[in-house]
Chains A and B, each alone.
Chain A
Amino acid sequence: MVDVTPADAVPPAEVGEVELYHPHSWWTKYVFSQDAKVIAVQYSATATAIGLVALVLSWLMRLQLGFPGTFDFITPEAYYQFITMHGMIMVIYLLTALFLGGFGNYLIPLMVGARDMVFPYVNMLSYWVYLLAVLVLVSSFFAPGGPTGAGWTLYPPQAIMTGTPGGQDWGIILMLSSLILFIIGFTMGGLNYVVTVLQGRTRGMTLMRLPLTVWGIFTATVMALLAFPALFVACVMMLLDRVLGTSFFMPAIVEMGTQLQHNGGSPILFQHLFWFFGHPEVYIVALPAFGIVSDLISTHARKNIFGYRMMVWAIIAIGALSFVVWAHHMYVSGMHPYFGFFFATTTLIIAVPTAIKVYNWVLTLWRGDIHLTIPMLFALAFIVTFVNGGLTGLFLGNVVVDVPLSDTMFVVAHFHMVMGVAPILVIFGAIYHWYPKVTGRMLDETLGKFHFWVTFLGAYLIFFPMHYLGLMGIPRRYAELTDMTIMTESAHHLNSFISIMAFIVGFAQMVFLFNLIWSIRHGREAGGNPWRATTLEWQTPETPPAHGNFGKELPIVYRWAYDYSVPGAKEDFIPQNVPGDFAPSREPA
């Protein structure tokens, strides 16, 4: 048997050059806090709140699609507004903010062994600018003319014309302003996440000892910092087109019989800028999910992650490749066939590192000691959903398949599977996994099981049939389909079924919210390390971690993040900050 011998001659980690900010009052401790953990909770709560708005909007859309003509208040204009706000909120204000602002803020300092982010003040500003962006977005619901109904891609020229809801009112102006604010706020936070991973790591925490969660969030943040400027440029230029009458994107156009003053602009230019941001955005949401799910699977299968190095390389490769695939969203824009060929090729190439990751997750499960805890259930559901959504992505990556399917429900089904449901499942799994660290109490297991099964099966029942609707040729973006010959009786029934499932899944989220709030006081006491995990956030002296995270001395890292079920070790996990040599390939001491 191997003894745990403390490694000698390793001096304790010095307290870095970061000067810890100490709050002096209730306000600076809980409201204007510079502590990354508090900021993380603020980010998550705001993102969840605005996400609920988007959830309600999806119900309203499903009411119209499932039972057309029944609800008078859902006019075609209102339907477009629901679509637009639902998409924009979910993609940017919920997923991006929750993964990077929420999980990034909470996990990066704890997982790399830092006391806080490196620029805490800028980090605090980041949240408040984000909140301002959300408020501006919400205000558009109350503006004259309502929010914009331009579709979440905001394509000009229709986005700023009279026929589109909010086009000549306040809707589009508030939308663009809100996005600009969001990007400014995100850049402040993103600088922190990147530089903290670079400079905040504790003694012994080399890059190759980082948990994959940190790798995923780190790479996604680098991508976001480079991709969001494209959206920024597009928003600023469209705002000028709308407010000051420039013609960056607006061609010469006749509206309601009058010639507009715009002249010669290029809507395709907007599409290029938008998708130059838009495609990396998919991976900005997916990479943190990949990282988190790797850690969930390894922890709950009590087995080291299969192919750690390959996982890291795949994350980097996906991050780099995702910048050269954007135009696969524009196959139907009349591009040169050689461009289409190029972008189809890069799109298919990006499937290689992604597939490597999927194989490695499955191989990590292989002969593991799988505990079907709720985080694990969500992680497994993620793999299934992601493979499903990813494969339809391979179909759509080919120009010849994409052109006929592009405007159908098939695309809606595809992207909801791959970047809607799959990352959300990871978010749920991650919340069940880290909630005990944030609050000190476990979430209720029975409610959790109910939430998982209804969400997972329900989401499948919503989006799987949608593929068939798409193959039948049912178009997306239409508020009313009743009079079309293409809408058969069975398609109508399917639509009604999908709508009912959407309500059931939505109800399960209310149960989840109840669980979140109820368990803060009434949950089972969790203790410091309920999942018996190896990473540093579970080794803090206090739970929830106090200000400064690690007590007097920062931990020293002696091993990688995945020492589960090591032969010869007393327990089936060895935390990263425990010294001693257990490697099976070496002679026991």
Chain B
Amino acid sequence: MSVILVFLLVIAGFAGWWLSHQRLTAKPWLEQNLAGDFVGFDRSSLPTAKIGLGVFLAVVGCLFSLFTSAYFMRMGLPDWQPLPLPRLLWLNTGVLVLSSVALQCAVIAARRGQTDNIRLGLATAGFTAVAFLIGQLVAWRQLTADGYLLASNPANSFFYLITGVHGLHILGGLVGLGRTSIGAWNEARPERLRLSVELCAMYWHFLLFVWLCIFALLAGWAGTLIDICRGLLT
């Protein structure tokens, strides 16, 4: 359970940092009428939707940390046989990076108000994300064809489970991306479109980060890293 505890520690650190800026030591019973002075503490200047997405990403991060925790605990048991990762995953990773880069370009275009480039970025991101999902499915097919079935070993089960959950999150993101694209083609209000594009990019970058962590985990590098840390501690 150490992975999830580290994750929660990060969340707690962030929450603590935020709370420390909220005058938690104020004595509210002595402070009347100061509504004007308090404006700075009323709410964040960030758009509400971004904060909402941030909270949601914390939940998603929690979910994947828990899968990782379970992975490490199950890995220690004797019947664990790591499976060879299909080389296709490297290509998929490249495609997902491309998707994120395309969305980042769309964000830059949105800040500059270049509608054509926004559309180009969104379309590229959408197609590469779909390509990533197809690539993942092909990787699954390769593994099953080679006899690495879901139930035959816990390492296989975790591989299908974690990549599947990640794929579902990409699929959900594609719905948001689709709505943003509809807005981009129907000439939505520029500031509104910019926010949607930024939200998509935030979600995409986060899922790319999650994928890189998962990839490292499934490839076994994360285990090596932990062994090194353990070696340093003991």
Q: Answer whether residue B171 sits at the interface, using C-beta atoms and an 8 A cutoff.
A: no
Task: Known pairs A7-B33, A233-B67; list 19 more (Cβ under 8 Å).
Answer: A18-B48, A205-B42, A206-B28, A225-B59, A226-B11, A226-B58, A229-B59, A229-B62, A232-B63, A240-B150, A244-B150, A264-B79, A273-B66, A276-B66, A316-B19, A320-B12, A558-B33, A560-B28, A563-B29
Q: Are A323 and B8 in contact (CB under 8 A)?
A: yes
Q: Are B154 and A269 in contact (CB under 8 A)?
A: no
Closest residue on chain A to residue B66 by CB atoms: A233
Query: Which residues of B pack against A, CB within 8 Å?
Result: 1, 4-5, 8, 11-12, 15, 19, 22-36, 38-39, 41-44, 47-48, 51-52, 55-56, 58-59, 62-63, 66-67, 70, 73-74, 77-80, 150-151, 154, 157, 161, 165
Task: Provide the residues of chain A in CB contact with B4, threshold 8 Å.
Answer: 230, 276
Given A199-B43, A248-B70, A558-B32, does the pair A191, B52 have CB atoms closer than 8 Å?
yes
Give Cα A204–Cα B8 distance, bound, in whole angstroms.
31
Mark out the residues of chain A between 184 and 223 whose CB falls within 8 Å of any chain B CB in the assembled complex. 187, 191, 194-195, 198-209, 222
Task: Provide the residues of chain A in CB contact with B5, threshold 8 Å.
Answer: 323-324
Give Cα A265–Cα B153 distance, bound, in whole angstroms.
10
Given A199-B44, A208-B24, A309-B24, does the pair A230, B66 have CB atoms closer than 8 Å?
yes
Q: Are A195 and B33 in contact (CB under 8 A)?
A: no
Q: Answer whether residue A38 sits at the interface, using C-beta atoms and an 8 A cutoff.
A: no
Give Cα A585–Cα B39 distance, bound, in whole angstroms.
25
Q: How many interface residues does A have (CB within 8 Å)?
A: 69
Annotate A1-36 by CB proximity to B: 1 below 8 A, 0 otherwise. Answer: 000000101100000011000000000000000000
Closest residue on chain A to residue B23 by CB atoms: A208
Closest residue on chain A to residue B28 by CB atoms: A560
Q: Answer whether residue A515 sits at the interface, using C-beta atoms and an 8 A cutoff.
A: no
Query: Which residues of A pack against B, CB within 8 Å?
Result: 7, 9-10, 17-18, 118-119, 187, 191, 194-195, 198-209, 222, 225-226, 229-230, 232-233, 236-237, 240, 244-248, 261, 263-266, 269, 272-273, 276, 304, 308-309, 312-313, 316, 320, 323-324, 556-560, 562-563, 579-583, 585
Q: Are A266 and B29 in contact (CB under 8 A)?
A: no
Q: Are B29 and A308 in contact (CB under 8 A)?
A: yes
Given A273-B70, A556-B35, does the pair A206, B23 have CB atoms closer than 8 Å?
yes
Closest residue on chain B to residue A196 by CB atoms: B48
* Contacting residue for B32 out of A247, A304, A582, CB 8 A: A582
Give Cα A205–Cα B39 distance, bound, in whole angstroms.
9
Give Cα A316–Cα B63 distance, bound, in whole angstroms.
22
Given A195-B55, A240-B161, does the pair A248, B32 have CB atoms closer than 8 Å?
no
A-B contact pairs, 24 of them (CB 8 A): A118-B52, A187-B56, A191-B55, A198-B44, A199-B43, A201-B43, A203-B39, A204-B35, A225-B55, A226-B62, A229-B63, A237-B70, A244-B151, A246-B154, A248-B74, A261-B151, A264-B79, A265-B77, A312-B24, A320-B12, A323-B5, A559-B28, A560-B28, A583-B29
